[in-house]
Amino acid sequence: MEMFKVDLYIRVSTERQAKEGDSLEEQESELKKFCEYRDFQINNIFIERGKSGGNTNRPEYQKLIKDIQAQKINAVVVKKLDRLSRSLLDFENLMKIMQEKEVEFISLKESFDTTTAMGKAMLRVALVFAQLEREQTSERLSDVMAFRAKQGMFNGGYKPFGYTNVNKELVPYKKEKEVVEIIFEKYIETKSTTATAKLLNLAGYRNRQGKPWDKRRMQEIIQNPRYIGQVLWNGETHDGIHEPIISKQQFEQAQEIFEANRRITDSPKTLGILQKILFCGACNSPLTPSHSLNRNKVKYFYYRCTTTHSAEKGKSKCSVKYVPFEKVEVRVKEILLSLSQEEHFRPVENRILKFNQAIEQDTQQLQKEIFLLENQLQTLKDKKERYLDSLISSKFLSKERNFINDKINDLELEEKQIKGQMLHKQFEINKKQEEKIDVAQFKKKLITFRVEHEEYDLEQMKKYLTGTIQSIHYTPEKLVFQFNLLPWSIEFESRVGCQT
């Protein structure tokens, strides 16, 4: 009967404990006694010295993961759960890997032992709490940020031009503060963002990245209430605790000028946050921002299928011609916000895990093929060694020596061919590993949008969308999202409608 193989994992979190060695020795002694009692064969003992359990960035822990993924063991044994991880979320991720590889988990202190029915039940309870923690994490983060905003505090992230961050709070930065004051002064004087940007550039002023100013950056600064000491969060404005740069009178005067100029300065290209990623689902052509005037001479903005530009009026063959700006943009934001919630993200997460599992299975098959090729290679090397030994130890005629040399050359050629096959399969393994999807990274992008989208200006929103979404194909019935991190598309109900 094959022995039940286990890996032991031992960790101390401080250098003092690691140097004294008592904790390490005590853990190792108890685990070895347990394995002896249960008749377990110890495969590896991983000892982590002076490493925190708050994350998984530990060398011995990563070696343990490799043993699990390679299915070298039947179980992992630790003295206490917190030796392995102090994060329930990290523990849950580890359990998923172990379950996929049919590796059990045993913790002496908490009596976790998934080789027994009771141990499996206790594990399920722990994972329920882990799921609860995961679902509440984003809620707690959002609540904390909302509370900080109401108290007038800075929630981190992008620092507005004119301010720096000192002890996590905004403080005016003298060099940039002077530029902000000039921007408001010149805008009120010229009543033009373009003219204001031009004056700044002629005077030699540059933005934080050292680039010339443009009218869009002028607009962002002029409309930002932070410059009068306010904080904007979830559409609500709160009095901030940071020092204002501009007086309320100046700010209000600038807003009045901006509103008066809005109909002239607004353009579809500026407003279209879905530009470059929105496509017609009927003909696959891009949907580009456009506008028209209603009876009251007010601009109406919409996305327009590009096939209508070249077609005669009313003659476009595409069934999708015009899509209202606001409706489709609001719907896209709704979809992203819903995906940041656990119940809607879970089906996507499950598909990602299955996709990664399939890649892992393919990788294992390739590794088996490499192992077989290694055996073939060793067989060829052995044959070649025997031929070489015979040449050295025996006396052959010239004809016989030539025959043996030809055989050696044939074997060396086969060796090269097998090595080539092995390199090709290793390349396939590396390529497949690169195809694996980082579910945590994808989830983080969605939660980031949920927490920060209210604070995004126009350019930040565009940057987020193009950095997250490759394309959105629109029809009146559905929106088909192709995310950058996913090799498949996801369909959502449209709820937008269109004009034909």
Give residue 327's domain range: 266-369+435-500
Residues 27 and 104 in one domain: yes
CATH of the domain at 14: 3.40.50.1390
Residues 244 and 270 in one domain: no
Contact 415, 381 (CB under 8 A): yes
Look at residue 357 in the predicted model and tell me its pLDDT: 92
Residue 240 in domain? yes
Residues 76 and 37 in one domain: yes
Residue 292 in domain? yes
Residues 214 and 304 in one domain: no
Residues 124 and 105 in one domain: yes
Look at residue 312 in the predicted model and tell me its pLDDT: 47
Q: How many domains does the chain have?
A: 3
Look at residue 63 in the predicted model and tell me its pLDDT: 92
Q: What is the pTM of this model?
A: 0.44
Residue 350 in domain? yes
Residue 425 in domain? no
Look at residue 48 in the predicted model and tell me its pLDDT: 85
DSSP 499: B
CATH of the domain at 175: 3.90.1750.20
Per-residue pLDDT of the chain (500 residues), as tens digits, is 578 899 999 988 654 454 444 467 888 888 998 898 888 999 999 998 877 666 778 889 999 999 999 999 999 999 887 777 766 667 778 888 888 898 988 888 766 777 776 666 666 666 565 555 555 555 565 666 666 767 667 666 567 888 887 777 788 888 888 999 999 999 998 888 888 989 999 989 988 888 898 888 888 898 888 888 887 766 677 787 888 888 989 899 988 888 877 654 444 445 688 888 999 888 888 888 887 776 776 777 888 888 776 544 455 567 777 888 888 899 999 999 999 888 889 999 999 999 999 989 998 999 999 999 999 889 888 888 887 777 666 677 777 778 878 888 888 888 888 888 888 888 888 888 888 888 888 998 899 898 888 888 888 888 899 999 999 999 888 999 999 989 899 999 987 754 44
Look at residue 215 in the predicted model and tell me its pLDDT: 83
Residues 172 and 31 in one domain: no
Contact 281, 473 (CB under 8 A): yes
Residue at a domain's end among 265, 298, 318: 265
Residue at a domain's end among 110, 141, 172: 141
Residues 279 and 333 in one domain: yes
